[in-house]
């Protein structure tokens, strides 16, 4: 790894790159939180409710929204979306580390694999026959790329990523350690005696551009067709994506979510952590699913969907949930009461 | 890897291998879906409701059930269970890849380990002292086999499988990447001051024949006795199997499920994804558990068990679940109303 | 690995080490369960309800509580906390395996890394530039330690642990296979067009002393500040710890739990398996959360919190949960009935 430090930037240069307008000036070397900032740091104000912390901050400058333009006398950048602006500044100040091109002596490269000379292939990497590794890709130690895999340019695979044979991975892909792409889907046909016959998993995983995949997430190959992750999808850690799932462009899914086979998820969706998506259903674009929610039916229209149990003190929960087991009977009782009263009303 | 292509088969040869009867003939090279099939492909009709897709398919032949024997004029195989038949044909046409016997130069083999000369030991594999690797086993790159592990014949371990010391693994085992077998169970005794004292985990993991384990699943070793996975069990990805669990033969468990310590699960069970099984309970044979369902008590009889919250539009959920927190009080109100009306009925 | 066998101990020596009092004598070589014990084994009686198994045991001795001092005629140790005592005896009889100091020839060590000569660095381990590995640490095969990581003395990392750059790990740390420490947190800012801009994750993971982390668990680095795991925390398998989480000292968390970003969990908490903790909330010390429970709000006081759906037979669940979707309406009906009856009462 070659260290690459972002150089400090005056507010004026930030504004000339990213827009907004500067009031006052300061030279910015790093981003920080309101609480932890010091000399040379820039912070952002997400909401006027953090005004007290803003008053106490030791930051050299702050990024604020138009409505908060005069909330501070600190040097500042005024813009439409302080959080997004902050993200741009942080990306500028913290460029990804650069890796020396070349193939480590311990790497094992299969016959006919084509590795761009600008790619970095780390120690103990194994690349299968016929694989193609694009320009400027970084494959850190212990990555294992199956035969005939294609990896687009500017990919970054952290240590110990496994990609099974024939998968097709797009450009600017980031994959964190422990991810497994292209393992067999869970397909078994029951025999007459109740044992299982494995169904060969013949599809691939096809991943678009600008996708990021969190640590220890698993994405299974398709059974017959492919499992597809479209452009710009962001997956957190420990997510299970089953065979033949399709995840639409720019959808973001938080950790511990499980997606069953052949589910089709739309574009621009936001799925909370530990959600569960049944198989063979379709979710429209721009659907938001709360964490811990089970989606068991297709969701044909955009919206916010939720289904989980709020935690209570254990004793209260026990009482309420013993009732829940008899909710149908309770509803019947209420209907009987309504009927009886209606009859009485008629009589009197 | 040595490529092994299944050769094409005429319908007549399929029927002579697998039974059923052929109407018409075709030469079959691959399986496909109704939608994607082309020349040389065989498809199956799972249900007459797919008749429209069947009419449009470009497949060369189709596998149908007895009741659909005349649903098409395409060359076809008529049988009792089209899906199972299709699985058999697919397995015939798509034999697993073959690997050259031998030990890669980078592998590290412990003292006294016995590796069958027909086994394939890939790059960077580490095998501990005293381990025994059976005939025709394939250990792909980076697998790590602990001391004194026994792996039966025809095992296939994808890259980066870790098996801790002393575990006993059966024949025809398939383990996908990132699986960890035999890590310590979660056993700690509370000290008087609230800190934890680790309890040594002295048992093993013992796995039967014909088991398949999905990517990144974890199976902990027993605390005193063993964790046992019986013959024919199929585990999907990202499943947690805690210490001293026993999973009965031919049970299938979908992804993201967690099974707590000392749970005993019967044979031929089907556990849906993201289910949760408490510890120290017993589940009978042939129990089906829906995905996302918590099993907190023993299930002494076969059946279908479910417990999860259906997703609603967020606003509806909020209203309903604020009531759920007071369900016990609501039930009390209904009882009070019933009592009052009963008293009035007596009076009038 | 050098085998280290615990030698047999007479009851008197156990008592002189760990307290309690011995009645009778026996020479103890191993711990066991009541059912499986044999000659030379010691067992413990957790509760008088296991008296039948105790009567049948073939153990050479038993550890009992004060109230069960006379429950058996077997040689025995009488003490306050039989389970904890048993754990101490087991730890004595089953010391961890010892590993030869030294660096395997296949390991790749970065510039300026400082590795204590007493540490064991296994095959294919990769250690980044500037990392510091403490005395008597064991890094088993394939571990990957990022640049500038610090690992305190007596750490034990099982095969295939990945630690990203700059993380700080305390003393007597045990990490099981497949764990990923320090991967990027899930931080993305939405662009105007709905795509995502990655927010650089600049913090670290900081782990205290005496922590144990189960297989395939993931702990993300902080976005700006650090993710912090305090002393004595015990994490089971397949847990997701998001960026900027803090877990208080001696808290134990069971498998498959997900903790969202910036959650602060107190000391001495016990979190059940498959629990879900929302982000940006605070949980007090000594909070117990049941397995499968979602914590969506801060929990400012100690207690036991629960929220999950008990499983029922599928048909019963269907009936009850169709009602649950209309619980708010049902509660309104009950209120209407109450009102109507109250009016009648006034009239009559």
Both A119 and A60 in one domain: the answer is: no
Q: What is the pLDDT of residue B342?
A: 86
Spell out which residues of chain C touch residue B326, defining contact as CB-CB under 8 Å. Answer: 331
Interface membership of A311 toward C (CB under 8 Å): yes
Both B227 and B263 in one domain: the answer is: yes
Nearest CA in chain A to C224: A32
Spell out which residues of chain B touch residue A242, defining contact as CB-CB under 8 Å. Answer: 236-237, 255
Confidence of residue A343 (pLDDT cuts 50, 70, 90): confident
Nearest CA in chain B to A197: B87
CB B170 within 8 A of CB B189: no
A320 within some domain: yes
Q: Pick B200's closest partner by Cβ from C33, C90, C122.
A: C90
With CB atoms and an 8 Å threshold, state whether B234 touches A196: yes
**Residue A322 domain boundaries:** 314-347
CB B259 within 8 A of CB B242: yes
CATH number of domain containing B88: 3.40.1390.10
CB A292 within 8 A of CB A310: no
Is residue A280 among the annotated active site residues? no
Both A87 and A136 in one domain: the answer is: no
Both B60 and B187 in one domain: the answer is: no
Q: What pLDDT digit, counting tens, does each position of C200-233 carry?
A: 999 999 999 999 999 999 999 999 999 999 999 9
Per DSSP, B93 falls in state H
B109 within some domain: yes
Nearest CA in chain A to B329: A320
With CB atoms and an 8 Å threshold, state whether A237 touches C256: no
Task: Identify the residue whose tokens are 């009906």.
Answer: C333
Does the pTM surpass 0.90? The reply is yes
A1 within some domain: no
Both C129 and C237 in one domain: the answer is: yes
Q: What are phi and psi of C261, to 5 degrees?
A: -60, 140
CA distance B297 to chain A (A): 14
Spell out which residues of chain C touch residue A216, defining contact as CB-CB under 8 Å. Answer: 178, 180, 216, 218, 238
Q: Pick C218's closest partner by Cβ from A123, A216, A312.
A: A216
DSSP secondary structure, B137-184, as one string: -EE-TT-EE-TT-EE-TT-EE-TT-EE-TT-EE-TT-EE-TT-EEEEP
Cα–Cα dist C132/C21, whole Å? 45
Residue A345 belongs to what H/E stretch? Answer: helix A327-347
- Tell me if residue A67 falls in helix, strand or coil: helix
CA distance A17 to chain B (A): 40
Task: Identify the residue whose tokens are 């939608």.
Answer: B35
Q: Where a domain ends, among B93, B113, B131?
A: B93
Q: What pLDDT digit, counting tens, does each position of C249-267 carry?
A: 999 999 999 999 999 999 9
- Chains near B (3 or more Cβ pairs under 8 Å): A, C
Both B249 and B283 in one domain: the answer is: yes
B145 within some domain: yes
Spell out which residues of chain A touch residue B331, defining contact as CB-CB under 8 Å. Answer: 323, 326, 330
B215 within some domain: yes
With CB atoms and an 8 Å threshold, state whether B323 touches C325: no
Cα–Cα dist C276/C268, whole Å? 18
Q: Where a domain ends, among C58, C93, C128?
A: C93
CB C6 within 8 A of CB C26: no
Nearest CA in chain B to C230: B195
C4 within some domain: no
Contacts of C71 by beta carbon, 8 Å cutoff, 6+ apart: C45, C48, C51, C54, C64
Both A181 and A229 in one domain: the answer is: yes
With CB atoms and an 8 Å threshold, state whether C224 touches A32: yes
Count: domains in chain A? 3
B121 within some domain: yes
Spell out which residues of chain C touch residue B148, defining contact as CB-CB under 8 Å. Answer: none
Interface membership of A327 toward B (CB under 8 Å): yes
Both B147 and B200 in one domain: the answer is: yes
Q: What pLDDT digit, counting tens, does each position of B27-73 carry?
A: 999 999 999 999 999 999 988 899 999 999 999 999 999 999 999 99
Helices B327-347, C327-347: crossing angle, 10 deg rounding: 30
Interface membership of C122 toward B (CB under 8 Å): yes
Both B146 and B187 in one domain: the answer is: yes
CA distance B121 to chain C (A): 15
Both B300 and B318 in one domain: the answer is: no
With CB atoms and an 8 Å threshold, state whether B250 touches A305: no
Low-confidence ranges of chain C (pLDDT < 50): 1-4
Both B266 and B120 in one domain: the answer is: yes
Spell out which residues of chain A touch residue C347, defining contact as CB-CB under 8 Å. Answer: none
Spell out which residues of chain B touch residue C215, defining contact as CB-CB under 8 Å. Answer: 162, 180, 183, 218, 220
Both B146 and B71 in one domain: the answer is: no
With CB atoms and an 8 Å threshold, state whether B31 touches A333: no
In angstroms, what CA-CA distances link B233 with A53, A197, A204, B132? Answer: 56, 11, 25, 22
Interface membership of C268 toward B (CB under 8 Å): yes
Q: pLDDT digit of tens for each residue in chain B (348 aa)? A: 333 455 799 999 999 999 999 999 999 999 999 999 999 999 999 888 999 999 999 999 999 999 999 999 999 999 999 999 999 999 999 998 899 999 999 999 999 999 999 999 999 999 999 999 999 999 999 999 999 999 999 999 999 999 999 999 999 999 999 999 999 999 999 999 999 999 999 999 999 999 999 999 999 999 999 999 999 999 999 999 999 999 999 999 999 999 999 999 999 999 999 999 999 999 999 999 999 999 999 999 999 999 999 999 999 999 999 898 899 999 999 999 989 888 887 876
Q: Where a domain ends, among A48, A75, A93?
A: A93
Contacts of B70 by beta carbon, 8 Å cutoff, 6+ apart: none
CATH number of domain containing A166: 2.160.10.10
- Residue to mutate among B148, B175, B183, with most C CBs inside 10 A, is B183
With CB atoms and an 8 Å threshold, state whether A142 touches B158: no
Cα–Cα dist B293/B125, whole Å? 39
Q: Pick A307's closest partner by Cβ from B215, B237, B312.
A: B312
ipTM, two decimals, is 0.95
A4 within some domain: no
Q: Which of residues 50-69 of C touch B (CB under 8 A)?
A: none
CA distance A326 to chain C (A): 7
Cα–Cα dist B119/B139, whole Å? 8
CA distance C54 to chain B (A): 17
Q: Pick B252's closest partner by Cβ from A180, A188, A330.
A: A188
CA distance B203 to chain A (A): 26
The yes-or-no verdict on residue A112 having pLDDT over 90 is: yes
């Amino acid at each position: 790894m070659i260290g690459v430090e972002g150089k400090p930037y005056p507010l004026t240069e930030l504004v000339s790159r990213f827009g907004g307008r500067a009031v006052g000036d300061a030279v910015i070397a790093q981003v920080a939180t309101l609480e932890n900032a010091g000399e040379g740091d820039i912070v952002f104000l997400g909401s006027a409710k953090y005004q007290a912390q803003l008053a106490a901050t030791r930051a050299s400058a702050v990024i604020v929204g138009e409505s908060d333009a005069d909330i501070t006398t600190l040097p500042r950048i005024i813009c439409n979306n302080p959080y997004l602006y902050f993200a741009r500044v942080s990306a500028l100040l913290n460029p990804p580390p650069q890796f020396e091109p070349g193939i480590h002596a311990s790497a094992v490269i299969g016959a006919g694999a084509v590795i761009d000379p600008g790619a970095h292939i780390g120690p103990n990497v194994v690349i299968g026959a016929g694989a193609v590794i694009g320009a400027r890709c970084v494959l850190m130690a212990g990555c294992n790329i199956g035969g005939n895999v294609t990896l687009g340019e500017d990919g970054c695979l952290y240590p110990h990523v496994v990609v099974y044979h024939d998968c097709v991975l797009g450009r600017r892909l980031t994959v964190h350690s422990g991810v497994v792409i292209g393992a067999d889907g869970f397909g078994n046909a029951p025999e007459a005696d109740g044992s299982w016959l494995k169904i060969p998993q013949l599809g691939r995983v096809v991943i678009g551009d600008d996708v990021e995949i969190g640590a220890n997430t698993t994405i299974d190959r398709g059974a017959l067709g492919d499992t597809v992750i479209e452009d710009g999808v962001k997956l957190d850690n420990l997510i299970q994506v089953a065979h033949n799932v399709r995840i639409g462009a720019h959808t973001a899914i938080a950790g511990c979510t499980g997606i069953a086979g052949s589910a089709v998820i739309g574009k621009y969706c936001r799925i909370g952590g530990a959600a569960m998506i049944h198989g063979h259903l379709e979710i429209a674009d721009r659907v938001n699913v709360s964490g811990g929610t089970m989606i068991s039916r297709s969701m044909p229209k955009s919206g916010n969907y939720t289904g989980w149990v709020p935690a209570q003190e254990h004793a209260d929960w026990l009482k309420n949930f013993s009732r829940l087991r008899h909710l149908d009977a309770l509803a019947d009782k209420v209907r009987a009461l309504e009927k009886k009263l209606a009859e009485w009303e008629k009589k009197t």
